[in-house]
Every structure is written in structure tokens, then in C-alpha cells.
Amino acid sequence: MFKSREQIEKDELLTLGAFAVKAGETLGRPVRESEHPYRTAFQRDRARIIHSAAFRRLDGKTQVFLNGSGDHYRTRLTHTIEVASIARTIARALSLNEDLAEAIALAHDLGHSPFGHSGEETLDRLMKEHGGFDHNVQSLRVVSMLEEKYPRFSGLNLSFEVIEGLKKHDDSYVKPDGSTYQSPSLEAQVADFADEITYSSHDLDDGLDSGLLDVEALESLPIWMEARRLAEPEFRHFKPHDQRGYIIRCIVNREVEDIVVQSARAIEKAGVTSVDAVRAHKTRLIGFSPELRKQNAALRKFLFKNLYFNPKVATANQRGCKLLESFFERLVETPSLLGRKARRRIKAEGLHRAVCDYLSGMTDRYCFEQYHELFGDD
């Protein structure tokens, strides 16, 4: 015997909060498909994302440190897996749909460029006169158009609710029936904050491992000192070098606990008892307490000053961005150098967008290799 999709959907009605998205109540896919016998719509979405080529390429894309510069540094793929893990934890604690939150988390960076945020800024500048470039918008292009795995449609044909979650910076949303609303699902909001929790903590971890950050400087941050006080009772079990990893673990735990407690209070106070009520709510209900928001802002400011703009990080990424710019200009001049799929999109999307799609899909390593092959320059 196996648990049927219908049984899983009935279980969700019994176990999830009234404000959670239920798989059996999905607003559907762009192209209608028959249902699966023992997987819900969001479970299928998760599998489609994991099996996509764009997901595999995340392993070769920079998070902070140029891909290949160290065995232990996060890549865009390991970042994504950590986001998905935290999203599931928060969703479970709030009686939300874990499958949906995880699917959104797994897809949120599929459109990221090589060379991290520096690469994104470079492509955005190069595309200024042609619609710009934003990795969130590009993630939507990947799942809606650029992935080619199915005979009946382009993209992955994901559920409306996953697509909604990828529109993380939109001010308003549109349902399939044309009606508009202001806020995405709680699951989408959870995935967004799981991203913030993850990159702050693991960028801190990687920065310490690299030696570009030091513990003494971190003692100026309230979030670090509070986590340190929580961690100190366990220090006798760790060597001094390993204590910092446990402190970061305590930071993550505190942030997750804070967002669960704060969000539960906000949901109760708002009195939302359906997904439609969540979507109609003028403000988002998932979030940190005011105190933790302030502490996170100080942490982000510290990371920008001491890590992201550190010459050892910035110089390597800038080298990749110069390469990206030269590559872009050459491909615009000689479109025949584009990959087969990218060339097919020139007529419908324009040359510059086709070039941007082609370059943004590359891993750091492949971009270097293709550049060397094209220019003969190391």
C-alpha cells in the first residue's frame, strides 16, 4: 500500500493551519496537467526544480568566495540547500506547507549569475538599455521559459504558488482569474526570510574560515555577543578554534526562534483564517522582532564593510566581472558564438537578452573556460 495524493491532501487539511496553502487547493499550473497518483503538486514542483540543469549549475556559482577558491566555502548550491532546510523548519513550526516553502527556497537562486552579486551588477549595467538584469526575475525566466525538459511546454510549468513565491520584490500580485492582491503566501514569506537568515550566518562562517574576519572585531556586534553568551556553557566541549562555529549555530537558532514567535503573534493578531486573507493583508506577517531587525542590520553593515568589500574578495570577483563584460561585448558582436538554444531566442527576445540569458546561466568555471577558448587569455 502507498499513501495516495488524495490522502496526503486530506492530511494537510487536518494538520496545517487555516492560513496555510493546501496542495489540493492550488491555483494550478500555466499548462494543465493530470495529477500524480502519490505526489502533491508542490512535491512535484520540488522534484522538477532539483532535477533541472539550472539547479545543478548552482554548484559552480560563487556565493561570496570565487568558486574553486576553497573546499569548504559555500557555493550557490549549498546556500540554496541551507535556505531550504531553514524554510522547512520555520514552516513546520508555524503549521505551514513545508513542501511549498521548500520548493520556493530551492528555486529562489536558479537565475543567479556567475561571480555572485558582482556578476549580477555587471550584467544589470550591461543590460541597462535592454530591460536590466535581476537574478530574481531571471529565476522566473529559468523556470517559466529557459529550462527545456518537457514536450508540451517551455520551462518547468510550476504551480502558481511557487511562481508567486519567486516574485519576492513585487508590490502586488495577480491571480489566474485576473484579480489582484498585496501579499504573497506565508510560505513565500518564510522562504524569503530563510534566505536572509542563511546568507548572514554562513557568510559570517566563511569569512571567519578565510581569515578575513576575526572574532575580536565581531565582539562589537550585539547579535554575536548574545549568541556567545548562549554558547559559553558548551565551550568546554570545543577547542577555541571551533567555538566560533557553535556561536554561529546559536545565531541561526536564535533567529529562527525569533521569527517563529514573532510571526505567530502577528498571524494571531491579524486574525487571518485563510490564504485569501493572508494575500489581502496589507503588510507581510512573517518577520523578525524590532530588536533582531536592528541587530541583523548591524551585522549586514559589518559584512559589507569587512567581507564583501574586502580587497581579497572584491578583486577576485572584479576580475570575473571584467571577463564577463568582455565576453558579453564579443557575443553581441558575434552572435554565432552563442549556444544553440540562446541563438534560437534572438528573434523573439532580442540579441542582448539572449546573450544575457546565455552568460547568466554559466558557472564561474565554464565562463573562465569559454573565455579562454574564445580569447586565448588566462
Looking at 263, 289, 314, the residue that finishes a domain is 314
Using CB atoms within 10 A of its CB, is residue 55 exposed (0-12), middle (13-18) or buried (19+)? buried
Residues 126-145 pLDDT 10s: 999 999 999 999 999 999 99
| Element of type H or E holding 181 | strand 180-181
**Interstrand relation of 173-174 and 180-181 (parallel, antiparallel or unpaired):** antiparallel
Residues 208 and 81 in one domain: yes
Residues 340 and 202 in one domain: no
Q: What is the reported pLDDT for 256? A: 98
Pick from 46, 64, 104, 69: which is nearest to 199 by CA? 64
Residues 177 and 130 in one domain: yes
Q: What is the reported pLDDT for 269? A: 97
Residues 343 and 370 in one domain: yes
Q: What pTM, to 2 d.p., does this model score?
A: 0.95
Looking at 267, 283, 314, the residue that finishes a domain is 314
Q: How far apart are CA 233 and CA 68, in angstroms?
A: 36
**Which domain, by its residues, includes 339?**
315-375
Residues 181 and 302 in one domain: yes
Q: Could you tell me the CA-to-CA distances from 151 to 40, 148, 154, 279, 331 in Å, in that order?
A: 21, 8, 8, 34, 29
Residues 216 and 81 in one domain: yes
Residues of the chain with pLDDT under 50: none
Residues 299 and 355 in one domain: no
- Which residues have CB under 8 Å from 154's CB, separation 6+? 144, 145, 146, 147, 148
> Which CATH number goes with the domain that contains 242?
1.10.3210.10
Q: How many domains does the chain have?
A: 2
Residues 110 and 185 in one domain: yes
Looking at 288, 314, 340, the residue that finishes a domain is 314
Residues 129-185 pLDDT 10s: 999 999 999 999 999 999 998 999 999 999 999 999 999 888 889 999 999 999 999
Residues 176 and 146 in one domain: yes
- Which residues have CB under 8 Å from 197's CB, separation 6+? 86, 252, 255, 256, 259
Q: Could you give the angle at the alpha carbon of 221 between the alpha carbons of 219 and 227, nearest 5°?
A: 80
Residues 209 and 343 in one domain: no
Alpha carbon dihedral 165, 167, 173, 177, in 10-degree steps, equals: -70
Q: What is the reported pLDDT for 377? A: 64
Residues 323 and 226 in one domain: no
Residues 141 and 280 in one domain: yes
